[in-house]
Amino acid sequence: MAERIPAEERLMNLVVALVATEIGLTKQQILESVSGYRQRAGSRSDALDKMFERDKEELRSIGMPLETIPSSTDPNDLRDARYRIPKSEYHLPEDISFTPAELAVLGLAGRVWSSGSLSADARSGLRKIRSLGIDVDEPILGFAPRLDPRDAAFGPLQAAIERSRTVTFPYLKPGEDAETRRTVEPLALVEYEGRWHVYGFDVDAAADRTFLLSRIVGDVVPTGAVFPASARAGAGERALAGLEEVARRQRALVEVTPGSEGALRLLRRAESAPQGYLVPYVDRHIFADELASYGPEVRVVAPDDLRDAVVERLRAAAAAHTEEAAR
């Protein structure tokens, strides 16, 4: 049975292929080259035709400027028509301007975009298109975001997700002296509150789990086991919903110095309370690290375990500075 590629992944692969070539691709070339279609090569042709027609309408409905270039010999015969998404349609109008702050944010965002993030399926599709003698533009800036996290586990996990491969990795939980080996079917990588998590099925626990990448303390090793690609459908949404639910249940009451860096960073995700502000958080240890970094700008009123964790970090920092000054 052919591997089933999620619809959103098939659409993204189609966009990459249609942006990569100036002359466009025929429907037959798309069906034979783009991942999500080519796996269904043995399906009925009318089913593939209907899928392609639905995908074209979907792209147009979300604002993609999908062009149909008629055949030069018979403009009414769509069998030889070519399809493309012209990159020129994404040029900003000349009357748009940005403030210095907006330009700084755009510059920062631009530095994380690169062709390096093209999935293996998208790269394979471009190679197949190139093998047909059609020039492709690679890198495709604007369609290939490359996130460059410091967590070494990100790349191997991304590759395992694309290949639906089960992995193992050593994981160190807060307060424990030794890591444990986890066996996981990775389904999605999600960013929440500035930190990356992998969401998947924990084989040993027989349940879905979310792991913080910064707590993976060794190599991510693929195993010989695979899982259905269909399991990835909606995994990112489930992961984020789970993290948001945890944050709704855990809220810290804090007092913040007005106009400080702590106020700038915390109040945008807080709500007012009679004695300060309520700030949702997911992980006590990580949130304690953040709060401690603000020093005297922030005071934790509740809960007690979070306040104790912040005090512990501040005392450790003070002791370290005292030892340094004594040398």
Task: Compute mean pLDDT per 10 residues along the chain, 327 residues long, and list them.
Answer: 66 83 85 80 75 87 83 73 78 64 60 50 61 55 45 89 95 89 95 87 96 95 94 92 93 93 87 93 92 93 96 91 73
Angle at 172 between CA 244 and CA 287, to 5 degrees: 40
CATH topology of domain 7-100+118-131: Arc Repressor Mutant, subunit A (1.10.10)
Task: Please name which of 70, 42, 40 lies closest in space to residue 55, comparing C-alpha atoms.
Answer: 40
User: Boundaries of CATH 2.30.30 in the chain?
Assistant: 157-241
User: Boundaries of CATH 1.10.10 in the chain?
Assistant: 7-100+118-131
- Write the CA distances from 48 to 42, 69, 133, 233, integer angstroms: 10, 20, 24, 21
48 touches 1 (CB < 8 A): no
Distance of alpha carbon 145 from alpha carbon 235, whole angstroms:
20
Task: Please name which of 233, 238, 234 lies closest in space to residue 36, comparing C-alpha atoms.
Answer: 233
25 touches 16 (CB < 8 A): no
Angle at 35 between CA 187 and CA 141, to 5 degrees: 85
- The CATH architecture to which 157-241 belongs is Roll (2.30)
pLDDT score recorded for residue 139: 45
pTM here?
0.56
pLDDT score recorded for residue 191: 84
Residues 6+ apart with CB under 8 A from 219: 156, 169
Task: Please name which of 297, 174, 197 lies closest in space to residue 247, comparing C-alpha atoms.
Answer: 197
pLDDT score recorded for residue 276: 94
pLDDT score recorded for residue 116: 46
pLDDT score recorded for residue 221: 97
pLDDT score recorded for residue 105: 62
pLDDT score recorded for residue 148: 47
